[in-house]
Every structure is written in structure tokens, then in C-alpha cells.
Amino acid sequence: MTWSTYTSYLVLVIFVVLAPGPDTVVTLKNSFTGGFRGGLMATAGIATGNVVQGTAVAFGLGAVIVQSQVAFHTLRWLGVVYLCYLGVQALRSARRGDYAAMDGAGAQHGAFRRYREGLLSNVTNPKVLALYLSVLPQFIDPVHNSLTDTLLLAYTVAVLGAIWQLALVAFVHSVRVWLQRRSVRRALDAATGTTLIGFGAALAFQS
């Protein structure tokens, strides 16, 4: 793989990463509710999910899942249920309006749960596998490219995605005082909950 090919791939991945999706919303949700550490844990979970899916594609397992109707649709419906579950949680929080401070014990509570949310929201989204399978072959020469090249392309998505999500976490942290206002938090929870349910519905009706 040449530097020219990899540079073209980088440009494409940057646009893909910047496009709003479930990963972005889950990162913001956990940054709103868990502060800086909560956002970091969700980002780590999402990055882990990207590495898992990228590795699966590089070793051929991703293609098997996508080609298997049972496996693909099972994964898709798990993703639908999980995104809707997270959305309902956020809407319930908005209705209750009972919030812990972002920068105290509330920020440290449930670190593993936030990591798990990021991981599961990513690995149960078959669109990520489909993206890898549709994009990577355009930049891979089956004759000259090695497994290392394929893994490099796959892990680039995880790295750039994590960088973007860390930027979001840092932004939320910079306006944390404003976000601690109860009315603002309720509005954000309502917005993220509705958006997550919307992503789940879109995944449900995917053909």
C-alpha cells in the first residue's frame, strides 16, 4: 500500500468519522451524565468495538456475518433493542430531572457501565461491519497488500474515531458549569434519548 493510497483513505475516514451517528450520541450522553471520566470510558468502549469489528473484517469473519442472514439480522435487532434501551434511559432521566454532580462522585460512578455502553452500542451495530466491508476493498490490492495493511486500515478508523470523540468529551468538559444547570441537562437528556431511539428505529427499518 502506497502513502498516496493511505492518504486518500484517511480523507475518506475523516468524513465518515465526523458524520453524526450512534457513537457520537453515546459519547455525548456519557459525557453529559458522567463528566470527563464518563466520556473517556464511553470512548474507550467504542474504540474497543471498532478494533473488534475491524479485526473481524480483516480476518474474514465480518464477511461471514454480513452474508449470513440469521447472524446479520440477529446482530441488527440486538443493536435496535440496545439503542432504544439507552434512549429510554435518557428520556427517563429527563423526566425525573434528578442529577448527580458531573465532577464528583457522580462522575466516577459506574465507569464500567459507561465503557460497556460504548462497546455494546458499537459492536451491535452491523452498519459498522458493512462500512468496513464496503470501504476497505477499495484501498486494498488483493495481490500486493498483506494482512498488516488491512489491519492498519481497519484500526485507522478506531484511532480517528477516538480522536474525534475525545474532542467532543473535551468540549463538554469545557462547558460543564453550564451543563450542570438542571433545565439544560433535562433538555440534553431528552434530545439524546430521542436521537438514540431514532437511530434504533432507522436500524430496525434497514433493509
Q: What is the DSSP letter of 60?
A: T
Q: 56-72 pLDDT, tens per residue?
A: 888 887 777 767 778 87
Q: Which three cell numbers stand for residue 111?
A: 465507569
- C-beta neighbour count of 70 within 10 angstroms: 8
Q: How confident is the model at residue 186 (pLDDT cuts 50, 70, 90)?
A: confident
In this prediction, residue 33 carries a pLDDT of: 81
pTM: 0.83
Give the rounded percent of residues in the chain with a pLDDT score beyond 70: 89
Bigger pLDDT: 143 or 88? 88
Q: pLDDT-derived band of residue 163, with 50, 70 and 90 as boundaries?
A: very high
The structural domains of the chain, with segments of one domain joined by +, span 33-204
pLDDT score for 142:
66
- pLDDT of 137 strictly over 70: yes
Rounded to the nearest integer, the mean pLDDT of the chain is 83
Residues 133, 126: Cα–Cα separation, whole Å: 11
